[in-house]
Amino acid sequence: VLKLNLTFLTTLQLFSTILIVAANLIVGQLIERTRTMAGKARPWILLSALTLSIASVLMFVVPFEGTAKMVWIAIAYNLFYAVAYPIYNTANSTLIPVSTRDSKQRGALASFTNVAGLAVMGAGSLVSFALKENQHLWLVAMTAIAIFSALTIFLQFKFTRERVTEEQMSEGATEEAKVKTASLKEQLSAVASEKMWWIVMLFYMGFQWSGAMKNGSMTYFCKWVMDNTFFGTADAWGASQSLLSIMGAVPMAVAAVAIVPLCNKFGKRIVCMVGMLLGSVGGVIAIMGNGQIVPVAIGVALKCLGSAPACYMILAMLADVIDHIEYKSGIRTDGLTMSIYSSIMVAATPVCNSIFSAILNASGYDQAANIALGTAAQTAAAQTAISVGYIWVETIAYVICAVLIFFFTIEKDLPEEQKAIAARKNK
């Protein structure tokens, strides 16, 4: 039964990923073609107050058993992740580039947006720990969360503005300044021909997917690789996991205060590059720790501290690229760019979990039994595979990301490009 459930959940995530990516791309194009007094992203924010709250409750209403239960779970899961969440997430991400052209203000907005997301994830972990497997309590909790979400999303709609969209729709804007609604082919051509767009997207993909690999392998690492005798018993892997979680969360929280001022002074490119290099140093320390809790915890803390600039600034960097593309082609690609960004984000966990599962299976690890079977050599192979997933992949990715972001030179010319965009309006 356990193997059947694992197969169902893995298949559901992989199949749903296709639907989720498609939904993000569709929502992105709908946003691009929306023209209202409220803007092009904010109407979808308002709609998500309804769709997100209803879908989040339906995931925890399970009225059936057996096969019907699995069908219901699949439907409810996709109503949330392939319908409700893409509407909100793509629209919310699009608000960063359309709220202002000021690069420093975008940095602050992007930072606040991602800090809020991380805070919600942390709160979700605490709720999950408290409610455990009590389905009734989960339903009550999610109903309360749904009501709260609907209210706060409405407030977000009420108290935000799309200044860039207003600028383009104003009556005084010249025909040259009014950015046309481009076809999908034109948008794809505009982004595909811009190397800075590719640099930032590949940077984000390496950063996000390596992080998903790390998160998916964390429990296995703490249980089968970490020396848990530090806590008095070899079975204290839960304590090791909690410690590593804290060592990762605290530097991220502390960095939230410093990232925006540092980026304003030195630039997003430099701060993110230094952060990636610091993170890779942390990875090397964790590797050299060889499963010992102290060096691994120090290495994880440095990795997470180094990841903070990229985590908080990615939306601002994407917004700068969108302005750069507008300067060169006269086309705004907010919806397309942010839908691809969202697709990369949501596809990371299921795809990387599947890759990691395949690696584990090949190494001789029995996930259904949650034990490594076979000879000492097979057990060592499984431990190596787990270490690669938890430490090595992200460490190597951070080095590659540091090299990529070194060539991201948009910030230097962006002020002049934005002046040129403004000049078109005032002709």
pLDDT tens track for 330-354 = 899 999 999 999 999 988 988 898 8
Range of weakest confidence among 183-192, 236-245, 393-402, 403-412: 236-245
CA 243, chain centre distance (Å): 23
Q: Are 89 and 117 in contact (CB under 8 A)?
A: no
**Span 219-243, mean pLDDT?**
85
Please tell me the predicted confidence (pLDDT) of residue 146: 94
Strand, helix or coil at 344? Answer: helix
**Token pair belonging to 320:** 């700068």
Tokens 């690669």 locate to 388
Q: Say yes or no to pLDDT of 2 above 50.
A: no
Q: Are 372 and 378 in contact (CB under 8 A)?
A: yes
Q: Say yes or no to pLDDT of 131 above 50.
A: yes
Rounded to 5 degrees, φ, ψ at 409 are -110, 25
Rounded to 5 degrees, φ, ψ at 208 are -75, -45
**How far apart, in Å, are the Cα atoms of 413 and each of 98, 313, 352, 410, 416?**
19, 18, 36, 6, 6
pLDDT tens track for 32-72 = 999 899 999 999 999 999 999 999 999 888 887 878 888 88
Gap between the Cα atoms of 284 and 264, Å rounded: 29
**Span 232-243, mean pLDDT?**
82
Gap between the Cα atoms of 367 and 347, Å rounded: 22
413: confidence class by pLDDT, cuts 50, 70, 90: very high
Mean pLDDT (the chain) is: 88
Q: Say yes or no to pLDDT of 79 above 60.
A: yes
In eight-state DSSP terms, residue 132 is T
Please tell me the predicted confidence (pLDDT) of residue 376: 67
**Span 156-179, mean pLDDT?**
74
Gap between the Cα atoms of 249 and 244, Å rounded: 9
Highest mean pLDDT among 168-172, 226-230, 281-285: 281-285
Tokens 């023209």 locate to 35
Q: Are 17 and 351 in contact (CB under 8 A)?
A: yes
5: confidence class by pLDDT, cuts 50, 70, 90: low
